Amino acid sequence: MSDTGRAQPADPRTNTAVKVVLRAGLGLSLSLLAIGLVTQLVSGHHRADQVRMFALLAAPTAGGKILAVGTLVLALTPAVGVLTVVASWVRERDRIFVGVGAAVIAVLAAAVAVGALH
């Protein structure tokens, strides 16, 4: 624990890795969303199309496909951040936190599975 009473990661590279993952995911998703929006506007297609998560490439326009993938990247970025932290805990052999991280990943996977059924 630090002087502030907060737990500090055993490996400071973990914070760096998570920051890189989150920033890269955000940057990629924002780029895709901007490109998709511009593509939609330039093509004259000014309405939003509903796209199912497991049928992203079924969007009727190129801009819609790019927007759908950008949204998916944005949604998956925190999950990849969790996986990054869990990988660090595995390397550190911190079984308790690996278990907690695995539970979080299981809940996320269950949410995706339930969403796929509806």
Residue 116 has pLDDT above 90, yes or no: no
Residue 2 has pLDDT above 60, yes or no: no
Q: What is the mean pLDDT of residues 54-79?
A: 86
Structure tokens at 68: 């759908």
Q: What is the mean pLDDT of residues 20-43?
A: 94
pLDDT at 83: 92
Q: What percent of the chain has pLDDT over 90?
A: 42
pLDDT at 7: 55
Which three-class secondary structure state does DSSP give residue 48? coil
Confidence of residue 8 (pLDDT cuts 50, 70, 90): low
pTM for the whole thing?
Answer: 0.76
Residue 24 has pLDDT above 80, yes or no: yes
- Dihedral angle over CA of 33, 59, 69, 52, nearest 10: 120
